[in-house]
Amino acid sequence: MKEQVIERLIRYAKIDTESNPESSTTPSTEKQFDLLKVLKAELEEIGLTEVTLDENGYLFATLPANTDKEVPTIGFLAHVDTSPDFSGKNVNPQRIDNYDGGDIQLNNELIMSPSYFPNLKNYVGQTLITTDGTTLLGADDKAGIAEIMTAMEYLVQHPEIKHGKLRVAFTPDEEIGRGPHKFDVKAFGADYAYTMDGGPLGELQFESFNAAGVKVTTRGTSVHPGSAKGKMVNAITLAIKFQNSMPADAVPEKTEGYEGFIHLMNFNGHIEEAKLSYIIRDHDREKFEAKKAHFLEVEKMVKERFGENSITVEIEDQYYNMREKIEPVKEIVDIAYKAMENLDISPIVEPVRGGTDGSQLSYMGLPTPNIFAGGENMHGKFEFVSGETMEKATEVILEIVRLFEAQGK
């Protein structure tokens, strides 16, 4: 099973599926269909039924029940896109067998060292898949895709494992917060689902951030600098003042656990106009709303001093903490927890410090916790994943399926 899931990851990783936050289409990039079409053919070849791929890049499939018991319909989901934070073009995965715990030479110029990434020490003796140092790997979330595919194939080949109806979904644009925007929950038809989109071995998450995106535009007046006194308004300076009004310690590099943050993602401009883009994240709804309110307070102060047209702040909520929707059906978390324990995996129940499609899907009527897929150092050139962890994630899917059937009536 390990070799199957590794082979799939490497094959999928080589297909460029980077999403684009500036696009208004769904999917945001046409190239996401390159992988979706491969997956569609593979699902059909494996033997799944009701395989559909719509014009928005949502791929659904069914593994019919093989039990007479009444069992909830369970879904397993992963996303095909990779983060636009780093290039996903011409990915060239590297395989390291029996990792010795030392430095990893990604290319002639770049080393990944456990002195900087101590998490590497957790994988001594295992098979690692890394980048070549020029792109991300895309284990987020092509590891999840590989795990779901391998689990479904295993179930088809082993009909002695009884299970209820299973649904599979591979979706676009998760990395830009739009994964479920056109997801048809009713057509998917699952009672509960799991995203295979977490990090290291044992992660089990049913709490997420509340999330919003913010676009700030400052506007100035350009005048020749030699005669600018009392006339010039520099939009870049206004933008800097705006950023300096944000809380200095509420940033990703200074927060962890349940601590929220405001993250400046992009800044560009000139004297006449400057643009800043932010994301706001907090697990606590009141603190989340307070962070949004702070943006509007600063906007008001800038307008009072420089005029109504000097600044525009646009805030758009992206998703909310899924805990509210999952707690009433906490048994789905308990089953995943038990599945890990049965496989001698120590569950690590912690909040998601990032996005997951389960946040939005849970509010759309499909409670969806998140399970580890294995990726480490995601969204960059030091990304890697363990073959053994991917194999364990595949086994967790199988055990969840078995446990649901065992509890059926």
Q: How many residues does the chain have?
A: 409
C-alpha separations of 216 from 24, 162, 191, 254 in Å: 19, 54, 40, 23
Say how far apart CA 49 and CA 338 lie, in whole Å: 29
Say how far apart CA 406 and CA 338 lie, in whole Å: 13
- 249 tagged catalytic: no
Per the structure block, which two tokens stand in for 304?
A: 């009072």
Say how far apart CA 89 and CA 183 lie, in whole Å: 26
C-alpha separations of 81 from 20, 29, 171, 237, 348 in Å: 9, 9, 8, 36, 26
3-state SS class at 159: coil
For every residue of 101-143, DSSP letters joined together read SS-EE-SSS-EE-TTT-GGGGGGTTS-EEE--SSS---HHHHH
- Whether residue 239 contacts residue 276, with contact meaning beta carbons closer than 8 Å, is answered with yes
- Whether residue 20 contacts residue 176, with contact meaning beta carbons closer than 8 Å, is answered with yes
Say how far apart CA 288 and CA 150 lie, in whole Å: 39
Burial of 321 (0-12, 13-18, 19+ CB in 10 A): buried
What does R_g of the chain's alpha carbons equal in angstroms? 23
Q: Which of 16, 18, 42, 81 is catalytic?
A: 81
| 181 among annotated binding-site residues | no
Q: Is the dihedral of CA 392, 393, 396, 398 positive or negative?
A: negative
- 174 tagged catalytic: yes
- Whether residue 21 contacts residue 176, with contact meaning beta carbons closer than 8 Å, is answered with yes
- Whether residue 230 contacts residue 223, with contact meaning beta carbons closer than 8 Å, is answered with no
Q: Which of 141, 153, 173, 174 is catalytic?
A: 174
| 379 among annotated binding-site residues | yes
* Other beta carbons within 10 Å of 303: 15
Give the CA angle between residues 306, 309, 313 to the nearest 5°: 100
| 140 among annotated binding-site residues | yes
Q: Which residues are catalytic?
A: 81, 174
Residue positions forming the annotated binding site: 79, 140, 175, 197, 379
Residue positions forming the annotated binding site for Zn(2+): 79, 140, 175, 197, 379
